[in-house]
Structures are given as C-alpha cells and as structure tokens.
Amino acid sequence: MPIVDSFIIVDMGSTDGTLDVCNDIARANSRISIKHEQWSKTNTADTFADIANRCVELCPTQNVLFYQADEIFHENLIKNVRKEYEKGQYGLSFERIQLSHGMHIVKWLPHMVCRSVVKGIHKYVADGMTIGDHSKTKMMCRNPLTGVPGNSRQFPWHNPKPGLFFDAKNPTALNGVMAEVFPWDEFLYDTSSSFRDNQIGKKALHAPFWNESPNVLNGMHKDEWARREAQNLLWTKKEPSFPMPKIALGLVGMAKYTLRPEVLASLKTDKYDIWS
C-alpha cells in the first residue's frame, strides 16, 4: 500500500468471511476497491495464470504490482521496489520462499516469481508464478555468495556455503546457517503452509486444480496428518527462526490464521508506520 496509487482486491468467491472483512476495509479506505471474478477452469494449473492476467487487466494503470493473498513482502524489499519505480523500472522479479510449520521450516527453497509487470509487455503463463519473457524484468534478490542480483536457477541455494548442503528431508538442521547466509530481507514470503489448522481446508481448495485427492496431506490421510501434527510444537513456537518482515512477526507460531486488529486498523486508516 505505501508504494501504489490504488489497490484492487480480486475475490474469487470466498465463503469464509474474508469478503466481509475486505468490504469493511474498502468502505473505510478509498484507495481500496473490490472486484469479483470466477475461475475459468477448476482442473488445471493454468487457471492461475488466467486469473493473474485478469488481475493485471483490472488495474487502471499501465504498471501493476500483483501478488497472491498469501504472499508478504519484506519491508526492506518494498523500499527497494520503490527505488526501482522512481527510476522507471517496473518489470521486477522476486525470490519467493515458502515457509511451513508456523514459519519455522523452509518448505521450498527460493524460486523466481514475477510480481511487478507492465501491461502489454509481461504476461503470466502456466501456474501464474512467472511470465513468458523475463528479458525486461529486473531480479530483486542478490546471490548470497556474490551479492549480484540474478535468477534463482543460478543461485547456489542447495549449497549456500562451501561444505554445507540443504537437506530437504531435514531442513531444520540448516536453519541457523540459512538465517545467516540467505538475503532474507529481499525475499517474498509465501505463508500458505504456515498455519496448521488451515492446511486441510487449503488442500481441499487446491486439490481440484492439481488433480490431487483432497484427503491426502504429505502422503498420508488428512486425519492421520492432523493427529501427528497436533503433537508438533513447531507450529506454535512464537520465537522466529528466520529474519521476518515486521508485519509477519505476529504470524509466527499462529496455528490458525487470524486477522490481527492492528493489521485491520492499519489498512482502514491507510497508515503503515507500524510496519516500518
């Protein structure tokens, strides 16, 4: 919000109370408006590209900052985005890192997503994470070894320091090293797998698009998964394991996503000093 002229929320038919809250915010903040769309398909991943492109179309300006509702920009990254905009650079790609277990485990290593686009130049493809042609976008994350911005496929994420390797089967073993080495304040944070009590509902919504079973989570039945994860204290650990965006600190260890009063007040009043 601090770096855009206006903000459009695109509702895809939510039924859990989210739309009521968004309407409440939009009534209080004239820079926010709400549009309603429908999924073009429900059994293929490219529907996410369809809606991403539709979101861009709905914006009245040529330059659009687009992102999904479960993504959070670090406040330092937003300041860097503002600097690029002031220079006239509006095509920007980011490194997105997905966290799970209360934001204490890296579920996926960073992967490139394009979130700042120019109409007529950038178009989303496939699952809507990226665009077809990145030649006119600038990478907003540095290589942790060289300090030079570049594509994640060129980054040594799997070997961030000599002699150290990321073990996908035991990611917590490298948490300390990752917190030290990775450029965390340049990441886009994906929070969708961070809230334990939202995972079964999330899977039910996502499964049709990926031709998956809504009853299977991480290779086991959802009820078995729920029983196991109820014993895992990482989901509710409040001390952050990684350098978090200020606005995300209150989400660490939140078992079920809840809109915080201070976030609601910030959006209604259009004031963001509390988030740096």
pLDDT per residue over 62-103, tens digit each? 999 999 999 999 999 999 999 999 999 999 999 999 999 999
| pLDDT score recorded for residue 202 | 93
Give 185-215 pLDDT, tens digit per residue: 999 999 999 999 999 999 999 899 888 999 9
Write the CA distances from 31 to 7, 8, 26, 173, integer angstroms. Answer: 6, 8, 8, 44
pLDDT tens by residue, 142-179: 887 778 887 766 666 666 666 666 666 665 655 666 77
Tell me which DSSP letter residue 255 carries.
S
- As given in the structure block, the two tokens for residue 264 are 């609601």
Cα 48 from Cα 129, distance rounded (Å): 8
Question: Average pLDDT of 29-46?
Answer: 91
- Residue 119: DSSP 8-state: T
Comparing CA positions, the residue from 144, 140, 147, 148 lying closest to residue 158 is 144
Is 22's pLDDT higher than 90? yes
Give yes or no for residue 111 having a pLDDT over 70. Answer: yes
The number of C-alpha atoms within 13 Å of 228 and in the hemisphere containing its C-beta is: 10
- Alpha-carbon span 134 to 261, nearest angstrom: 39
Q: Which pLDDT does position 100 carry in this prediction?
A: 93
What is the rounded distance in angstroms from the CA atom of residue 75 to the CA atom of residue 189?
A: 11
Mean pLDDT of 11-39: 95
**Beta-ladder partners of 95:** 112, 187
What pLDDT score was predicted for residue 4? 96
